[in-house]
Each structure stands twice: as C-alpha cells, then as structure tokens.
Structure 1
Amino acid sequence: MRRGIRGKGLSSHLDGVTDSPSPTDLNYSRWQQRDDCCFNWIISNIDASLINEVSQYETAFDLWDSLATTYGSGAEQFQISNLHRQAYNIKQGDLTLENLWQKLQDLWISIDTRHPNPMDSPESIEKYNQYIQRHRLYQFIWALDDTKYSKVKRDILNMDPIPSARKAYGLVRRESVNEKLLTLDSEIGVGLAVYDRSRTFTPQFNPPPRHPNHHKDEDKSRLICSHCGGKNTPDILAFISMDSRSGGKK
C-alpha cells in the first residue's frame, strides 16, 4: 500500500515529513485535497470491518500511523494465513470450472509473493515445490463440485504418481468438455426421434396422366355446313362425316 501511495506522489502524507499548513494558508486547500485522496485510498484498501474503527482520524498520517501501530507487527503473517484459509475453504458453487481455477491461481500467486520458497539448495527447493504442488492439488480437488466431478476426482487421486494441480485441471476440463458433447449428442438424438414420431404420412393422389392427343368432345350443336350453310341436323352431320371420310371427294 505504501508503494502505491508513493507512486501517486503522496508519500509525505504518510511519513509526516511536512506538517499540514494553517487553514488560513493559501496552499491549505490544495494540501487538504491531496491528503483526502491519500486518506480515501487507504480506507478503500483495508478490510471493511476496520473502516468504522479508523475512519475518525483527521489526516492520512494519523490513520496510517494508527494502522502501523496496531497491525504492523503481524500484518504480513495475518495476510498469509488468510490467503491459505481462502485457498482451503473455496468451493466451486456457481462458479464455472475456468473461474474456479482462476481464483485459485490468484490466491496461489499472492501466497508465493508473500511467502516465497525458503529453501536454498536445488534439491530442497524441488522437494518443497513438490510438497506445495500436492497441497494445491488437494485444494483444487476439494473445491470441485462433487455432483459433477466425483468420478474424475477419484481417478486423479488414484493416479501414481499423483499429478500436479495444473495437470489435474487439464484432466477435469477434458472430462467436462466430453460430458457436454455427450449431453449435446443425446439431446440432438432425442429431438430427432421426437420429430420423426411427430411426422404423419399424407398420401398424395396423383391422377393418371392424360394422353397428349386427348381432347374433350367437341360441341357439334353449333356446327354449320360449309356447303349449304345449314345447322346441325342428322342429315347434315351424316353428310359431314361422310365428306370427312372421303377426303372431300364427290
């Protein structure tokens, strides 16, 4: 936190290097503005349960000095202990597998930053890392949802040698993807079966094709003889029929 405030150019408000100017001073307004910024930045970065206890201080220096006196000696160890507690108690709940893994990664990075590997020789460093990785595997396995991943959790713990937490995450993620694909295939199959059963066969009536030379019987009631001009009479019809059979020859 001190580094962040120093980066904003407000470290003098924590160190008490310069006293606050008099309220009648022309620079007081600017100083008060910068001190309030520093004060609010500290408040926004401490535990919510401490805000009511420390918010009554007048200046950022008074606030910082109180925090350093009360919590300074064991603050780092308290933070490390709290990070370990979160890592062991985290549960997947409504989190996706990816979000759960990211939360664990963030906690582990914070722990490693505050509590780096204390070993010095290459062999001891490697053994310590293996020890840490095994505990992180347990943390990841315990955090997983039992109803979704009970089988793959047992399979991982039965492996010899036991995998790292990262490799275990890869195995669980692969299992999760395969499960989603199988569920999708099953849903598609059920949907197709329902659709197939819902289809009804409607026979189509196709009338027989008509002969291209087939025509409706012509209405001969209005025929007029081209020779005599007479209308449809039995004699005329007989004459026309005879005339058509003889090819018009007389």
Structure 2
Amino acid sequence: MTWIMGSVDQSLVLNLKPYKTAKDMWEYLKKVYNQDNTAKCFHLEYEIARYSQGDLSIQNYLSGIQNLWAKYVDMIYVQVPIESLADVQGVHEQSKRDQFLMKLRPEYKAARSNLMNRDLSPSLDVCFKELLREEQRLATQTILQQNKMHDNAIAYAAAHGKSKGRDMRQVQCFSCKEYRHIIVNCAKKFCNYCKKPGHIIKECPTRPQNCQASQAVVAS
C-alpha cells in the first residue's frame, strides 16, 4: 500500500486514503484510469473523423492519419481478446484506408473513384503509391498550364502593346486575375505545389524536377 501511495500522482493520494487494502486501491485506480482512457479514445475518434488532407501533400496527409490511428489502437487493442484481435485489426485497416481516400482534396476525385471501385479492394499502401503518382501528374499538369498562361500573357501583352501603345489596363494576369500587369511581374504569385506565395510552380525551389534542373545547370 505504501508503494502504491508513493507511486501515484499526488492529486490521487487523498482519494486513496479511504481504501484500507491494496486490492481496493488497485480497483479504484483501474476505474479512474479506465475513465481517462475512455475520454482519450473519444477525443481521438473525434480527431480521426474530422481529419482531412487540406493543404497537406499526400505523404504528410498519410503520416498524420497513421499517427492518429496508432494512438487510437494502442488504447483499443489492450481490451480486445487475442482470438478476436486479427478481425478487429482488419476492420480498422479498412476504415483507415477508406478515411484516407474519402478525405482527399477534390482534385483526387477521379483517382479515388478508381481505387474504391475495384473488384479487389487495394490496401492502404497500394492507394498511397498510386496517389503519389497522381500527385506528381497533377503537379506536372499545373506547370504546363502555367507555362501556357505565361506564354499567352506575354503574347497578349506584345500584341496589344503594338496596336494600342501597350495599354496595360486591358492586360490581365493569369495568376492573380488582376489587370495592368502580366504574371512575370505579378506581386501575388502563388505556388500550387508548395502552397506558398512569391513564385509559381515552375519556379518552386522545393519541387524535385526544378531541383534536378538546377543541379544539371550547375553541373554543366
């Protein structure tokens, strides 16, 4: 009993004094900590339910989900009989995969539908690998679109400059959609890859393709 009193948090010592045996103390502590775990489980279930990709990359989004689920199952599995553990784990893995897919950003709608409508449901790892490829495809597509808009803006400015003395009031930026400038001179550039202002995706220093291109230039 003395060992128990010396091991618990001081805030619980007074609550233990009415109990005269170690068994009664343990029963009380079990009840208290079980209630605490119930509250934690409820909070984690809430966090898992509201978690979504938002502005995260596919890699960071999955890491966040894995972290929340790891905390949750650590508390849940200790209460599951060993003979039922495999079944519960299977249900949780499917739930985790479905949540991962359903909380993706809208641009992944087509990829999500493809994964969820297969005859054999793919694992979370398979979904992750395919979505990484889709993320890369979307980033490349965005670069091509921005390059096209950039070229169109320059051509438009040049054409109107010749015929109208470069009346920039009629020129629209394809990045911020405001007038009187083109994307090259835009003060509100925004990168759709790293989600940061100040540059567009073709100039993004964190994008692997751009880093490789810079290294190739330096090497040459």
Q: TM-score range by the shorter chain?
A: 0.5 to 0.7
User: 2:101 — aligned with what?
Assistant: 141
CA contact (8 A) 2:97 2:124 kept: yes
Measure the CA separation in 1 of the matches of 2:31 and 2:77.
25
Structure ranking higher in helix proportion: 2
Alignment counterpart, residue 81 of structure 1, candidates 42, 45, 60: 42
Deviations along 1:165-201, one digit per CA (max 9) or x if unpaired, are 2321222222121011011012123323444563899
Alignment counterpart, residue 58 of structure 2, candidates 88, 97, 100: 97
1:172 paired with 2:161, answer: no
Structure 1 SS opposite 2:77: coil
User: 1:190 — aligned with what?
Assistant: 149
Letter in 2 for 1:142: M
Alignment counterpart, residue 112 of structure 1, candidates 49, 62, 73: 73
Matches within 5 A, 1:115-126: 115-116=76-77, 118=80, 120=82
Number of equivalences: 146
Q: 1:64 Cα deviation (Å)?
A: 6.6
Structure 1 runs of 4+ with >6 Å offset: none
Q: 1:127 Cα deviation (Å)?
A: 4.5
Matches within 5 A, 1:1-250: 15-17=4-6, 61-62=10-11, 71-116=32-77, 118=80, 120=82, 127-145=87-105, 147-195=106-154, 198=158
Q: 1:65 Cα deviation (Å)?
A: 6.0
- Kindly tell me: are residues 187 and 66 of structure 1, through their superposed partners in 2, closer, same or farther at Cα, counting changes over 3 Å? farther
Q: 1:125 Cα deviation (Å)?
A: 5.7
CA contact (8 A) 2:77 2:85 kept: no
Measure the CA separation in 1 of the matches of 2:138 and 2:125.
20
User: 1:44 — aligned with what?
Assistant: none
Measure the CA separation in 1 of the matches of 2:99 and 2:151.
42
Q: 1:80 Cα deviation (Å)?
A: 2.6
- Kindly tell me: are residues 64 and 187 of structure 1, through their superposed partners in 2, closer, same or farther at Cα, counting changes over 3 Å? farther
CA contact (8 A) 1:119 1:128 kept: no
- Structure number with bigger Rg: 1
- Kindly tell me: are residues 84 and 131 of structure 1, through their superposed partners in 2, closer, same or farther at Cα, counting changes over 3 Å? same
RMSD value over aligned CA atoms? 3.6
Query: Which consecutive unaligned segments of at least 5 residues does structure 2 have?
Result: 17-28, 163-220
Letter in 1 for 2:96: R
Structure 2 SS opposite 1:76: helix
Q: TM-score, length-normalised on structure 2?
A: 0.52
Q: 1:78 Cα deviation (Å)?
A: 3.0
CA contact (8 A) 1:84 1:111 kept: yes
Letter in 2 for 1:144: L
- Kindly tell me: are residues 112 and 72 of structure 1, through their superposed partners in 2, closer, same or farther at Cα, counting changes over 3 Å? closer
Deviations along 1:57-76, one digit per CA (max 9) or x if unpaired, are xxx51357669598423222
